[in-house]
Structure 1
């Protein structure tokens, strides 16, 4: 197995890859100690029995530029194949401000092809390739060097088996006419908004049952400070302070270091230095906020006038449609979306695009009294009215 550690080696391999119909890719990274994922290894394979290589940015250091790989990402003639690509794409977006295009995600494709919800790579290897995956290196520290032969073998298996999986799923999608379904799903993965957290909006990720605008103003300022400090220091958010500590601070409203020292949930690092100063400044900003600027929680779901009987019927219809189309239920519609439809809302993802073909159109007919559902044994049938 070959490991590429120089720009010249990577450029030569990408020059071979540009003539291939597709390449398979995966990454190994660490994120436990940083805000941004630390890229440790890239695996790439050529079609069929073509070579698969490791690209090592740690060993390569400054002598390895990933620009030849990014140029391949921009090549519209080569499909870039990943499994569960979200975290990989986030890394490449932050590292190189680029998304692979065109992109194929075998996890999404497998859900469309009836392999269940959030199907794992090992499951696809077992069911499609009829092989096993060595799990011994799964929880390894990929930042440590040198890599063992076992680690390298494990890493390469993530792209060699992926070639067979891709060809199988792509053929199945082409035969069923569902290739565009996968393309619709992947548009979210290649949207920069998916990977950018705006500090002013970070409060929305904090779970709280308190609808008080004054309380949420404090949460907003604390979450904003945490996001900026974590990002600028490249440390995990929880290293600044955890959500439960944030909610405690928003409740107790410490005004000085003495008050801050009384916190039960704040880490030791949060009681001194820049973090402590930032917390006190955030509390002050939250208390001084104009009531007109208070955050407004999304209470629309709480106010939904859901017809429970209709919601239950929609769940039955979804199950029937999912089984008929052999597509994972959660990929078609979530439970929350079914409640929204049952409450009369129509701007719902389940009613658009390919989902409308599979489920949405009949869901609306059911809501409007145009169809009924009947059961025969374990089967559900649609009856036109």
Structure 2
């Protein structure tokens, strides 16, 4: 039977205790796994708590007090299924702790491919199982210690019902014949997450700002310097950059181009809070430098200047994408499944970009899966052929 959310979870803070617990869990047919980090409170997110529920009990691993190394063999074992809600984030954080995952069932992805519109854990538990979970600690700083009794109860509740949710969703997945699509997309997302683990975003801080491509040239250099000082302060303070200055405040400062503290104080949010006020002199310096030197290095400009395709190439790509989109929509309707089951969006875009039109090239697209090539290869070849059907 599923682990009882009301049962007192076992908190593990020692590596030897974790090793013994992991050994016991290797006997389980499947386990539910969740992870809490400090991503909303630290410059770089790290694992704080790992929750694991077998079909009998729940353990909570304090990742700030013990290495997660004893979990490595269990998590990579294909003999034990891991039930996770939205594998991408957890897989990346675990990979950075040198713990890999294998044999994963992602309940969030299964729900999405079944056509559910609300795929958050709380929403799914409510709709699918009639279970209501406490959401009051969703934005809690999980690096805080000690863990209170209410925190332990919350943590256990996140995994206690995943077994039942997995069974409910996978029954429908099997009935609708989409298990191959769900499993392939899970492998793809897992691989993407692991590849991203421990890597730095190669883009300069200002290029990462959403909407940067629409910023007027006169403001771009100012934003470049503003984002750099925000990043530096965030790193020094060990907080997320947005907690130093919010993105919309950066854009507002670049537009207003303040030269005095009084002018800066007129911008909403620019001097709100201790961190922003301490940063004010650096902000004014960044504005002054950006006004004086509007140069954007060529090696940085390529990040947000989209390469312009030759007119003929661009038309060909658009036509391919339109044909693939229409085929996917028609096929999904014919089969009575979600369009992502027929062809995930990332596969569609990669197919539209193919330089070579062949089954081999199609098969090499990440996440497409051999089953799609076998079933839909001819249709995909037709859709990406230059003249179309």
Report the TM-score, using the length of structure 1 for normalisation: 0.70
Spell out, residue by residue over 1:55-78, the C-alpha distance to the aligned partner (whole angstroms, 9 max, x if none): 1529xx64x443323453355654
What pairs with 1:196-207 in structure 2 (closer than 5 Å)?
196-198=200-202, 200-207=204-211
What is residue 148 of structure 2 aligned with on the other side? 145
Counterpart-to-counterpart distance in 2, 1:211 and 1:149: 46
Would the alpha carbon gap of residues 346 and 148 (structure 1) be closer, same or farther in structure 2, given more than 3 Å must change? closer
2:296 maps to 1:295: no
What is residue 375 of structure 1 aligned with on the other side? none
Would the alpha carbon gap of residues 185 and 278 (structure 1) be closer, same or farther in structure 2, given more than 3 Å must change? same
Counterpart-to-counterpart distance in 2, 1:150 and 1:213: 52
Spell out, residue by residue over 1:307-333, the C-alpha distance to the aligned partner (whole angstroms, 9 max, x if none): 988766544322122234555324635
What is residue 157 of structure 1 aligned with on the other side? 160
Deviation at 1:14, TM superposition (A): 0.3
- Contact 1:79–1:102 (Cα < 8 Å) also in 2: yes
1:100 is paired with a residue of what secondary structure? Answer: coil
Counterpart-to-counterpart distance in 1, 2:198 and 2:47: 19
What pairs with 1:95-244 in structure 2 (closer than 5 Å)?
96-112=97-113, 114-116=114-116, 119-121=119-121, 131-135=129-133, 137-140=134-137, 143=142, 145-147=148-150, 151=154, 154-162=157-165, 164=167, 168=171, 177-178=180-181, 179-192=183-196, 196-198=200-202, 200-208=204-212, 210=214, 212-213=216-217, 215-244=219-248
Deviation at 1:242, TM superposition (A): 1.6
What is residue 58 of structure 2 aligned with on the other side? 53
Counterpart-to-counterpart distance in 2, 1:106 and 1:131: 13
Q: State how many pairs are aligned.
A: 357
Residue among 87, 95, 100 paired with 1:85: 87
Residue among 70, 75, 79 paired with 1:68: 70
Counterpart-to-counterpart distance in 1, 2:355 and 2:118: 25
> CA RMSD, aligned part only?
4.5
Deviation at 1:207, TM superposition (A): 0.9
- Contact 2:109–2:186 (Cα < 8 Å) also in 1: yes
1:25 is paired with a residue of what secondary structure? Answer: strand
What is residue 380 of structure 1 aligned with on the other side? none
- Contact 2:47–2:94 (Cα < 8 Å) also in 1: no
Spell out, residue by residue over 1:152-205, the C-alpha distance to the aligned partner (whole angstroms, 9 max, x if none): 663342444255358758967999654445323431122226974346255233
Counterpart-to-counterpart distance in 2, 1:117 and 1:306: 33
Would the alpha carbon gap of residues 308 and 25 (structure 1) be closer, same or farther in structure 2, given more than 3 Å must change? closer
2:382 maps to 1:365: yes
2:301 is paired with a residue of what secondary structure? Answer: coil
What is residue 283 of structure 2 aligned with on the other side? 279
- Contact 2:53–2:160 (Cα < 8 Å) also in 1: no
Would the alpha carbon gap of residues 339 and 170 (structure 1) be closer, same or farther in structure 2, given more than 3 Å must change? closer
In structure 1, list runs of 5 or more residues that go unmatched. 373-385
Counterpart-to-counterpart distance in 1, 2:376 and 2:286: 47
Counterpart-to-counterpart distance in 2, 1:5 and 1:173: 40
